[in-house]
Amino acid sequence: MNETRRAALDAALEKLPLVAILRGVRPDEIDAIFDALVTAGFRMIEIPLNSPRPWESLERIAKRCPDDVVIGAGTVLDPNVCQRLADLDAPLVITPNSDPLVVGEAARLELAPMIGCLSPTEALAAAQAGATALKLFPAGSLGTAYFKDIKAVMPLDLPIFAVGGIDIHNMSDWIAAGIDGFGFGGSVYRPGWSADEVGEKARGLISEWRRVKEGLSQASELEREADA
């Protein structure tokens, strides 16, 4: 990963750690969908490899990806995929599972492996292998109580994203529980949605993230003042 893309990833993880998951997107619609997401404010965008002709879509957006946006592939199951992503300057390597071969190859190529995990064993193994972030999946089925248990034993500097069953209605519960970011699938894109629809959904999700984070920040400040 070059320095420009590394800086973009670091900024996204710090300021707006939200990934748009475009499962099912087609090459003939990717440009308009991509532009709608970037205009709305998304800075991390994933094209799952079980979408129609995913590499064609990745190649299209890689050619004109802004410097402050990071793209990549989801549902990565084969470590050989990592080199192809590196060649495209598409560093996100997002998996549904914890495969040390995928994590290791992505780390070797200085990409950004975001590794799916369910158990503490999987999560800690992914962290040890070099994961940039962990993806708690399926988060909606597991719930925030389970996440808190996982979080308690994870390295403090390793972000955890909730993916699966997350939408604008339950984001606040997860943020309050301490989640570091989200991956949005059907709440930001579904096959057949227009670019305008995607843009509207994206703006709503970003607005909710900022609203909740600002509210928690203000509450924390008031608590500090009361204790002073």
> Which positions are annotated as active-site residues?
46, 135
Mapping DSSP to helix (H, G, I), strand (E, B) and coil, where does residue 98 land?
A: coil
Residue with tokens 């204790």: 227
Tokens of 190: 């579904």
90 alpha-carbon distance from chain centroid:
13
* Closest-CA residue to 178 (of 137, 132, 144): 144
* Closest-CA residue to 139 (of 155, 160, 159): 160
Tokens of 206: 């970003």
Q: What is the CA radius of gyration of the chain?
A: 17
d(C-alpha 9, C-alpha 90), whole Å: 11
Find the angle CA(160)-CA(47)-CA(122) to the nearest 5 degrees. Answer: 35
d(C-alpha 25, C-alpha 90), whole Å: 17
